[in-house]
Amino acid sequence: MMTRKMIGDLAKRSLYPSLWNLFKKNRLPINTRIIGYARGHSSVDEIRGNVEGFVKIAPEEAELYDEFWSKQTYVSASNSDELGYRGIDAACDKFETERHYRRADRVFYMSLPPKFFASAATNIKRYAMPKRPGQVRIAVEKPFGSDSETSAALAKHLDSLFKPEQIFIMDHFLGYDMVQNLVTLRFENHLFDPVWNRDNIEAVSVLFEEAFGIEGRGAFFDANGIIRDVVQNHLLQLVALLAMERPVTGNIREAKVELLKAMRPVEANDTVLGQYLGDPEAKDPKKRVGYREDPTVKNKESMTPTFASTVLKIDNDRWAGVPFIVRAGKALGRTQTTLKIQFKDEDPAKRDELEIKLKGETISMNLNSKIPGILNESEKVKLNFVYADHYKNVTIPRAYERLFYEIINDEQQNFVKEQELVEAWRIFTPVLRDVDNGKNELYFYKSVSSLRSYFM
């Protein structure tokens, strides 16, 4: 695993807990060795200490947990250091030789700034390929480039080094169980399939909210902004799954590509941008710190948006004229991703709504029902399906747990196809250029309530 910090948030909150879950469920190959690679000086013991607050270890699992960490190695070097990649190869080769392996598969997972992807991939090809027969897989985290040109250059470079079946472009939202359920919900329920079109649906919205601000991620975030961070990738993937045609022979990736091809580039006039301010009256000290006041944001006059709202428009027979409203923001008071489908009605107050929440795994249907009594009056009622209530003894896998398992087993369905990236950047690059050049007005907000009043 190559990341900027093996003791950073991604590693301790997601990567290692997911690998631990796979290990204790016997879903990793029995002779797996995990090698952490980052530029910072660290050790396996330090990484373990940082991870332990984010994993669940039953008393009877203590010995197994020790065994899990006995399979770890750490290599410290810069992302472009030839010696570092030779160190990865030496660690792998030592392990393979000691166990007299005739075959050795290697998975290289990269969570790096885009500027390091090309050199990292080149160094893997030159210095870290297995000497024995075996498969090599390259897993690449977003952001994959910063616009159409940089993404295309990176894709071309990877294609020159590895075969398409070796490249796994990750979007961790595709590993969420509720996101997986979108396809089942749409195509395996006759209730929805016939009405999933412009004749019956008024609008579709996808809302991504985070309660917290950037909190120390200023270097990364200020160079990217909210659109590159979540809208162009995570939220666009959700829209594609909601709007695509029924996949032919189950090929979801091709269905998403065809849908994205029908989507217009985002227009500046349909886009609203914002940046959060500190709230001096907030009880939580973190909420008193505005975006520009974060010590990791070096530009104290930064115009980088932490909130974006835009409308996606799809030019095909199914969706022509239906707005897909996408909103994402930080410091909004709560953390949730909500998908809402509003069905048509002559009376807007009586519209039926399907609502899907990723956090807490909830599917709700808002319907009209008669109020008990003599008068013929109706009101909105909510039918609620909550995963935790129905699946009481089922542990829902983490997103990375599923995706790592699928990489190991050569399953690419839940990974992003290169053509999806081409279309995604085509859709967002024009508005991103306007944002980068400061052409869009920036709205400053202290709270979600101020944003709501703005949109009202």
Residues 376-417: tens digit of each pLDDT: 888 888 999 999 999 998 889 999 999 999 999 999 999 999
Q: Hey, is 316 helix, strand or coil?
A: coil
| Mean pLDDT of all residues in 102-115 | 89
pLDDT for 330 beyond 60: yes
Q: Supply the pLDDT for residue 27.
A: 97
pLDDT above 70 for 256: yes
Q: How confident is the model at residue 78 (pLDDT cuts 50, 70, 90)?
A: confident
Q: How confident is the model at residue 72, as a pLDDT?
A: 92
Per DSSP bridges, beta strands 136-140 and 106-111 are parallel
* Structure-token match 């967002």, residue found: 428
pLDDT at 2 over 70: no
Give the mean pLDDT of 90-101.
89
> For this structure, is 41 an active site residue?
no
Question: Contact at 8 Å (CB) between 243 and 324?
Answer: yes
> Cα separation of 317 and 344, whole Å?
17
Distance CA 238, CA 204 (A): 11
Q: Is the pLDDT of residue 100 over 60?
A: yes
Half-sphere CA count of 340, side-chain side, radius 13 A: 18
**Within a 10 A sphere around the Cβ of 80, how many other Cβ atoms?**
15
Please report which confidence band the pLDDT of residue 287 belongs to, taking 50, 70 and 90 as the band edges.
Answer: confident
Higher pLDDT, 313 or 267: 313
State which amino acid sits at residue 224.
N
Alpha-carbon distance 352 to 370, whole Å?
14
CB 209 within 8 A of CB 306: no
Between 65-74, 117-126, 418-427, 442-451, the lowest mean confidence (pLDDT) is in 442-451
Express as a percent the part of the chain with pLDDT over 90.
72
Query: What gap in Å lies between CA 209 and CA 330, rounded to an integer?
Result: 6
The Cα–Cα gap between 288 and 433 comes to 31
Residue 111 to residue 170: CA distance in whole angstroms: 10
CATH number listed for the domain at residues 174-397+431-453: 3.30.360.10
pLDDT of residue 17: 96
Q: What is the pLDDT of residues 25-55, one digit of tens each?
A: 999 998 899 998 887 778 899 999 999 889 9
Instruction: Tell me how far the alpha carbon of residue 358 is from its chain's centroid.
Output: 12
What is the model's pLDDT at position 7? 59
From CA 16, how far away is CA 25, in angstroms rounded? 14
- In terms of DSSP bridges, do strands 336-343 and 324-329 run parallel, antiparallel, or are they unpaired? unpaired
Among the residue ranges 97-111, 146-160, 248-262, the one predicted with the least confidence is 97-111
Neighbouring residues of 437: CB distance < 8 A, sequence distance ≥ 6 = none
Determine the average pLDDT of the residues in 141-149: 91
Backbone torsions φ then ψ of 348, nearest 5 degrees: -55, -30
Residue 235, pLDDT > 60, answer: yes
Q: How far is CA 83 from the centre of its chain?
A: 32
Q: How many helices (H) and strands (E) does the chain have?
A: 15, 15
Q: What is the pLDDT of residue 279?
A: 86
pTM for the full model? 0.94
Which of 119-123, 282-286, 288-292 has the least mean pLDDT? 282-286
| Domain regions of the chain by residue span | 9-173, 174-397+431-453
Strands 336-343 and 2-3: what pairing?
unpaired
**Alpha helical stretches, state H, 130-206:** 148-161, 177-187
Task: Assess whether the previous peptide bond of 113 is cis (omega < 30° from 0).
Answer: no
- Structure tokens given for 415: 């990974």
| 8 Å CB contact between 130 and 107 | no
- Describe the crossing of helices 177-187 and 236-243 by its angle, rounded to 10 degrees: 20
CA 304-110-399 angle, to 5 degrees, is 80
> How high does pLDDT run on average in the chain?
92
Q: Lowest mean pLDDT of 211-215, 261-265, 404-408, 448-452, name the range.
A: 448-452
Residue of 56, 26, 50 whose CA lies nearest to 36: 50
Tell me how far the alpha carbon of residue 70 is from its chain's centroid: 30
- Enumerate residues 6+ apart whose C-beta is below 8 A from 287: 213, 278, 279, 331
- The least confident of 187-201, 421-435, 436-450 is 436-450
Are the CB atoms for 39 and 4 separated by under 8 Å?
yes
> Is the per-residue pLDDT at 455 higher than 60?
no
Residue 421 has pLDDT above 90, yes or no: yes
Q: What was the pLDDT predicted at 37?
A: 86
**What is the pLDDT, as a whole number, of residue 449?**
65
**What is the arithmetic mean of pLDDT over 211-217?**
90
What CATH number was assigned to the domain covering residues 9-173?
3.40.50.720
Helix (H) / strand (E) element for 378: namely strand 378-386
pLDDT in the model for residue 5: 53
Displacement of CA 300 from its chain's centroid (Å): 28
pLDDT at 77 over 90: no
Task: Please report the pLDDT score of residue 456 as a whole number.
Answer: 43
100/365: higher pLDDT = 365
Q: What is the pLDDT of residue 41?
A: 74
Q: Residue 176 above 70 pLDDT? A: yes
Give the pLDDT score at 281. 83
Q: How far is Cα 37 from Cα 398, in angstroms, rounded to an integer?
A: 22
pLDDT: which is higher, 112 or 343: 343
Catalytic residue among 157, 172, 190, 234: 234
Torsion over CA: 274, 276, 279, 284 (sign): positive
